[in-house]
Amino acid sequence: MTFNPGAVLAPVVDWLNANFHPFFALVTQLIEAVLGALEAAFLTLPPAGLIALVVALAFFAAGLRVAILVGCCLGFCWLMGLWQASMQTIALVLVAVLIAVAIAFPLGILAARRPRVEAALRPILDVMQTVPPWVYLIPAVMIFSLGRVPAIIATIVYGIPPMLRLTTLAFRGVPADLKELGQAIGAKPRTILWKIEFPAAKPTLLVGLNQCILLSLAMVVLAGLVGAGGLGAEVTRGLTRMEMGLGLRAGLAIVAVALLMDRLSRGALQRERRKR
């Protein structure tokens, strides 16, 4: 006799849908609204105008080399005829990363301050980082149906562990004498957190953000399997229709988006370290 996880999971999902349907519907509406607004903002400007704007921002944030690379990556997506799909993918990743950071950051601070919390979270994070990425799509689709929302939910879950672990590491690595100095001058705990600990932990936090972005991009192709659109859908379409040209172009566009986000975050990190 074999154990069938589906026999246990299906009733749980049915119970969740029956009792928390209004909550899931609200989450769906909020995510769709934010994602739609972000996509509209990216697609309002013509591609050349948006590329020029992003290149200018990259120049001031990370330097000339990163700005040139960003322009080349976005220009490649445009020339390949995948501009809209690329903007959809960037919007999906940005929304997922923002939500993942909003969840992982406070939990990481709490784990850095409370060893029991960190001990309780460690096995959960180990499991989350061991489970294959596509497994996250199964319960997300069962609860939220097909579309962009389950893709974002799965991406959030996949991106939380690195950000949470590195947030914990960052705040634990803050020198004790800095915190003691803040306490000695009578600073409040909130002031010590944001004025002393956060600046000292920022380099490691930026590394965690970088890892969160890259792991979120790893879900792009899988997200195309559940109707999320974007470059993942183009890769899936190329594979299912045996259009190798489309699949190759979409795959290279994903690489371009990954380089764009990786170099932007890494360039900002390096410039922050130079300032220090």
Give the mean pLDDT of 135-158: 81
Q: Is domain 83-275 in CATH 1.10.10.350, yes or no?
A: no
Extract the tokens encoding 2. 């074999």
Q: Which of 256, 272, 95 is nearest to 198 (CA)?
A: 272
- Looking at residue 104, what is its pLDDT? 92
Which pTM was predicted? 0.85
Extract the tokens encoding 222. 């899988």
- Looking at residue 271, what is its pLDDT? 62
- What single-letter DSSP state applies at residue 133? G
Tokens 């199964």 correspond to 138
**φ and ψ at residue 180, rounded to 5 degrees:** -65, -35
The span from the CA of 231 to the CA of 248, in Å, is 11
- Range with lowest mean pLDDT among 47-56, 138-147, 188-197, 210-219: 138-147
- Looking at residue 167, what is its pLDDT? 92
- Looking at residue 1, what is its pLDDT? 46
Q: At what angle do helices 21-44 and 148-172 cross, to 10 degrees?
A: 90
- Looking at residue 276, what is its pLDDT? 54
Domain extents in the chain: 83-275
